[in-house]
Structure 1
């Protein structure tokens, strides 16, 4: 079944869309009904009704979500010798002043606070 969508008008396309949505709802209802019948047959094989089994099932209670605590900022580990207000924790990307100091030959241990 091939439909040429490009040659259809907007009204025809909207009608087709409505028909497809209705067909999908019908198919879903049919599948649900078939699944229920299959489950009832399976439960009957063991001598139960589907209602008996669903009553025995424990209901999972949803636990309330606990908001995560904000991470505390790390303490600075290194400071720029030329400007002590510029610091770095030692985590993440190295700042330019740190990289430049190391390239000049200053040991990272000398930059520690």
Structure 2
């Protein structure tokens, strides 16, 4: 479609039609994808409902139960622990901001 050949009025009409057409096509595409996912699950012996939780989210696979060992502990409050993974907890940030060294928090 060559837009440069359309009048302003025709362009405005087209602009009004686009959101509804997008919504219709997105719904159609989602339905097609859902059917493909159902067929994929069925081919492997599952119903899609078995794989999804009540809220439609994928159920988490049970972890092996291996907890990550604590690597750092506050010297004055043993309840404050950190494995060293992810973001530093606020107590670690405060320790470092006050001139503390991360090595001083290492668990022996």
What TM-score bracket applies, with the shorter chain setting the length? 0.3 to 0.5
Return the TM-score normalized by structure 2.
Answer: 0.47
Instruction: Please tell me whether Structure 1 or Structure 2 has the larger radius of gyration of its CA atoms.
Output: 1
Return the TM-score normalized by structure 1.
Answer: 0.45
